[in-house]
Structure 1
Amino acid sequence: MTKSLKTKNLPAEQDFENHLHLTEARWFAVYTGYKREKKVVELLAQKGITAYVPLQRLTRHYTRKTRQVELPLISCYVFVKITQAQYVPVLETQFVQRFLKIRRNLLAIPEAEIDLLRRIVGELTEIEIETIGELRQGDEVEVIAGQLTGLKGVLVEKRGRQKLVVELKTLGYDLLMEVNPGHLSKLQPGSLS
């Protein structure tokens, strides 16, 4: 009597994208411990690894004093520009938890996205304007002045006469930015699609 063994049909090994390159350094995002972004950048710099955390300068008012503080634009994220050989040293860095992966894919972040973050945190111009024209909540808008020129988003909220909150989509995040109304131009509906 012969017994036949039944084998399960295993799915073919799935291909996952990995944008790490042997010689070309590319940008990737890593998760860090809470409030450890600046320390991670410092530790990576000691290893000779290029790291960047977009910091926004804020004014904090306390009972007896006012302080300028720099806080990360996106909590618990640091961006690293690495080659394949630097992948493990980044993971071995204290306070680095893991690389950001999208559906198991290790995707590089385009240089333009990093430049966008740099432009966002470098936005220092504050021009006052009297009227906000015909912009309304939900309007699709484009930034036409300042360091954020060319970015498109949706008007979320009006904060008085001088500030509008615009939702900008980048890196899979919705960034809410206060923008001067004089820096915006209304787009035709459906322009962002």
Structure 2
Amino acid sequence: MNWYVVYTKPKWEKKVAEQLSKSGIECYCPTIIQIKQWSDRKKKVEVPLFNSYIFVRLDDKDRNVIFQSAGVVRYLFWLGKPAIVKDDEIHVIKKWLDAPEKFDVSVDNIKVGDTITVDSGPFATQKATVQEINNNHYLLVLESMGCVLKIKYN
């Protein structure tokens, strides 16, 4: 069984994941807590990490089952085939979201363009390219995951 990326209607990620789970399909909608501000108050709100995307795990022959759920638009494709996400990439996302807020990071003699291996935190063992070094942060490109990691320091 493979993990596939499903594109949903905007703001339907959690609803689609709940519907698919109820119908027995293994799915994952990573969420984070954000503080939203209204004119009269601030509130912590759980929002999807990836807008309009969820992950489903099923056999290739069962891929059409998800279209029975309202809110599903299509699969994400890569090179003409449905995009498949590796189990270890899903595991890294889960590990990152479950990790504590603060990490100890030390960077010694690293310059822009260097390729490094992250040695601690939720992205441990991931290879990254240093894109920017600033007064209070580093930008690392994690090519295997297709994302940019911003590490702040004081």
Matched, 1:108 2:74: no
1:93 alignment partner, one of 59, 69, 74? 69
Q: Distance in 2 between matches of 1:139 and 1:67?
A: 40
| Count of aligned pairs | 153
Residue ranges of structure 2 left out of the alignment (5+ in a row): none
Alpha carbons of structure 1 residues 160 and 65: separation in structure 2 relative to 1, 3 Å = farther
Q: Distance in 2 between matches of 1:71 and 1:159?
A: 29
TM-score with structure 1 length normalisation?
Answer: 0.66
Which structure 2 residues correspond to residues 36-185 of structure 1 after superposition, within 5 A? Answer: 36-61=12-37, 64-84=40-60, 86-127=62-103, 132-158=107-133, 160-161=135-136, 163-171=137-145, 173=146, 175-179=147-151
Q: Write the letter of the residue equivalent to 1:88.
A: N
Partner of 1:17: none
SS across alignment from 1:114:
helix
Q: Cα deviation per residue 1:79-107 (whole Å; 9 max; x = unaligned)? A: 00112453222022111111122233235
Q: Distance in 1 between matches of 2:148 and 2:89?
A: 16
Q: Distance in 2 between matches of 1:45 and 1:156?
A: 39
Residue ranges of structure 1 left out of the alignment (5+ in a row): 1-24, 182-193
Q: Write the letter of the residue equivalent to 2:110.
A: L
Alpha carbons of structure 1 residues 66 and 107: separation in structure 2 relative to 1, 3 Å = closer
The Cα shift of 1:62 comes to: 5.1
SS across alignment from 1:138:
coil
Q: Is the 8 A contact 1:164 1:178 kept in 2?
A: yes
Q: Distance in 2 between matches of 1:178 and 1:70?
A: 21
Q: Write the letter of the residue equivalent to 1:110.
A: K
Q: Distance in 1 between matches of 2:130 and 2:54?
A: 28
TM-score with structure 2 length normalisation?
Answer: 0.81
Q: Distance in 1 between matches of 2:60 and 2:96?
A: 29
The structure whose Rg is larger is 1
The Cα shift of 1:128 comes to: 5.9
The Cα shift of 1:38 comes to: 0.9
Q: Distance in 1 between matches of 2:112 and 2:81?
A: 36
Please provide the CA RMSD for this pair.
2.6
Q: Is the 8 A contact 1:123 1:148 kept in 2?
A: no
